[in-house]
């Protein structure tokens, strides 16, 4: 009698089977055991925090790329910069000034999304300003109307709303000013 080899199952097939089993259990009302632990593990792995200095050096090398600088496009760094450009604690003033120059070269969907995000943030501040006139600074000469903003991905939007609620009026105004600068650069 010949012995048969044990059939091996690929990791991606095992993962798909586990996900199928988890959804089946959820439909039946039972809670999946192994997938919740794996999801927590994946979330922990994805929580890599980018060093703001890394982003600043990326923009600096971008600016000096013509003078023999060795700049190479990095999608992850660009995404981080675009996601955090409105947060002064992550993107400093000098870095933001370089970023404004960098944004002039944006094209396509990235440019459209950046405009929509900046409009959404500016509009959100204007609504906050109207709802809280006692916190409003005397800036009547600088009021402008913004167009309605488009929606973002659900997860990012929730995190942004939580962050927004934690900001004081001064930091909300800083975010608004950055959004206006981004809009000015992208609408040129």
Q: What is the pLDDT of residues 125-157, one digit of tens each?
A: 999 988 887 655 444 333 333 333 444 456 677
Rounded CA-CA distance 44/8 in Å is: 29
- pLDDT value at residue 50: 83
The share of the chain scoring above pLDDT 90, in percent, equals 46
Q: How many CB atoms lie within 10 A of CB 184?
A: 11
Rounded CA-CA distance 13/170 in Å is: 51
Rounded CA-CA distance 176/142 in Å is: 12
Mean pLDDT over residues 25-45, rounded?
A: 63
Rounded CA-CA distance 80/91 in Å is: 10
Rounded CA-CA distance 96/87 in Å is: 10
Q: What is the pLDDT of residues 64-114, one digit of tens each?
A: 888 777 889 999 999 999 999 999 999 999 999 999 999 999 999 999 999
pLDDT at 17 over 50: yes
- pLDDT value at residue 148: 39
- pLDDT value at residue 92: 94
- pLDDT value at residue 145: 37
- Of 15 and 3, the one with more pLDDT: 15
Lowest mean pLDDT among 44-48, 101-105, 115-119: 44-48
- pLDDT value at residue 150: 42
- pLDDT value at residue 66: 80
pLDDT at 49 over 60: yes
Q: What is the pTM of this model?
A: 0.64
Supply the mean pLDDT for the chain: 81
């Amino acid at each position: 009698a010949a012995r048969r080899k044990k059939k091996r199952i690929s990791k991606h097939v095992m993962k798909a089977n586990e996900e199928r089993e988890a959804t089946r259990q959820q439909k039946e009302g039972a809670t999946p055991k192994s997938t919740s632990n794996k999801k927590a593990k994946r979330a922990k792995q994805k929580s890599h925090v980018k060093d703001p200095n890394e982003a600043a050096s990326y923009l600096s090398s971008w600016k000096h790329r013509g003078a023999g600088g060795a700049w190479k496009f990095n999608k992850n760094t660009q995404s981080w910069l675009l996601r955090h450009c409105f947060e002064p604690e992550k993107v400093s003033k000098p870095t933001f000034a370089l970023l404004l120059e960098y944004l002039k070269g944006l094209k396509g969907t990235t440019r459209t999304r950046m405009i929509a995000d900046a409009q959404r943030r500016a509009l959100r501040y204007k609504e906050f300003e109207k709802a809280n006139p006692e916190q409003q600074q005397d800036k009547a000469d600088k009021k402008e109307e913004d167009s309605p903003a488009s929606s973002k991905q659900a997860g990012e939007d929730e995190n942004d709303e939580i962050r927004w609620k934690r900001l004081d009026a001064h930091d909300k105004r800083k975010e608004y000013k950055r959004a206006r600068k981004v809009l000015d650069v992208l609408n040129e």
